[in-house]
Amino acid sequence: MLVLGLETSCDDTGVGIVDADRNILANVVASQLAAHKPYGGVVPEVAARAHLDVIDGVIAQALKESGLSLSDIAAVAATTGPGLIGGVMVGSMMGKAISAVRKLPFISVNHLEAHALTARLTNDIDFPYLLLLASGGHCQLLLVHGVGDYRLLGRTIDDAVGECFDKCAKMLGLGYPGGPLIEVAARDGDPKKFLLPRPMLGRKGCDFSFSGLKTSVRTLIEGQTLTPILVSDMAASLQSAIADSIADRARHAFAILKEEKQSVTAFVAAGGVAANQKLRERLTKIAEENNVAFAAPPPELCTDNGVMVAWAGLERFRLGLTDGLDVRARPRWPLEEVRNARC
């Protein structure tokens, strides 16, 4: 059973093909980085047009890479939200068109659910698991009970963690996307050089906050010359503050689950920020403290891609969950609102 997945919700045109035995047959991602670079961030209209320009070619390349044709595909999945609506429409219309022409079932995939389920493809994780979903648009801790069955434990009350990385990187003159550039710059830096706040540390519950951190970075570098050493020290200090803050929130999530006598099979991290090596090391320790395994997809499957959409589509498809072609593209679609029709 092969499923084709299309991802176009932000600035990557991703096409993936997976099978039920957890094999990845194709993973092609066309990045729009160059198109958005002059603006220092993603421009929605530019993104939508760029998806439209390349999506045919990316699908053709995925089929070529896998040696398959559309007649081998059992179902088509596409991200139908949340995300930049122009891009979401390009991918979902393409998915629906393939479905209509080839008479294949169509599966509407929530982008966050695609991130949330990827570790089941890459690490064979069973339900229920604790999930940190950390990306450019989201930062949440969730209990994943099953496909379409998510309980939100905490979320950011202001900025997403990826947004914090991106905005601070911009202030430091590093460029976009900020997360990977901060990670590289931090390698030569002293994480203790700048005393940055650890937002929400010790607070009840497991909500996050990152806007204060961003303001602190701005205040500390104001009027300073951005020498390579200053940039590296600030990158290391920021990465360390973010890791401390997330680690504290994750500990609180485990404490809540313990109190409720809710066991989990694993602690999973997903979303672009989960590609961060320092963060992965911290999260691994927290999982160990709680006697569960830590799992995160390889970095290239943490950031946006079509494979995760194909996999989430496959998970839904094998539960008999398909969608009509009248399904809407949605700019906003929280994960807790994704329902498995059988729930």
- How far is C-alpha 106 from the chain's CA centre? 22
Q: Which residues contact 194 (CB under 8 A, 6 or more apart)?
A: 220, 233, 234, 237, 238
- Token pair, residue 3, equals 């499923």
Supply the DSSP symbol for 325: T
From the CB of 331, what's the least distance to ligand KG4, in Å? 13
Select from ligand KG4, Zn ion, none the partner in contact with residue 237, using the beta carbon and a kind-dependent cut-off of 5 to 8 Å: none
**Residue 10 in the binding site for ligand KG4 (CB under 6 A):** yes
Residues in contact with ligand KG4, counted by CB under 6 A, come to a total of 19
From the CB of 191, what's the least distance to Zn ion, in Å? 27
Residues between 153 and 182 with contacts to ligand KG4, criterion CB under 6 A = 162, 165-166, 177-180
**Residue 14 in the binding site for ligand KG4 (CB under 6 A):** no
Closest residue to ligand KG4 using C-beta atoms:
179
**Which position among 276, 314, 316, 329 is part of the footprint of ligand KG4 (CB under 6 A)?**
276
Q: Of 11 and 304, which has the nearer Cβ to Zn ion? A: 304
Q: Which residues are near Zn ion by CB under 5 A?
A: 135, 304
**Residue 315 in the binding site for ligand KG4 (CB under 6 A):** no
From the CB of 179, what's the least distance to Zn ion, in Å? 12
Q: Of 135 and 276, which has the nearer Cβ to Zn ion? A: 135
DSSP H stretches of helix in the chain: 33-36, 44-66, 85-102, 111-122, 161-171, 178-186, 211-221, 228-259, 277-289, 299-302, 306-317
**Residue 86 in the binding site for ligand KG4 (CB under 6 A):** no
Strand partners, 81: 110
Per the listing, tokens 């070529």 go with 64
- How far is C-alpha 144 from the chain's CA centre? 15
Q: Report the residue count for the chain.
A: 343
Q: Of 162 and 313, which has the nearer Cβ to ligand KG4? A: 162
Q: Of 148 and 271, which has the nearer Cβ to ligand KG4? A: 271
**Residue 271 in the binding site for ligand KG4 (CB under 6 A):** yes
Answer whether the bond into residue 191 is a cis peptide, omega within 30°.
no
d(CA 78, CA 165): 28
The binding site for ligand KG4 (CB under 6 A) comprises: 10, 135-137, 162, 165-166, 177-180, 183, 271-273, 275-276, 303-304
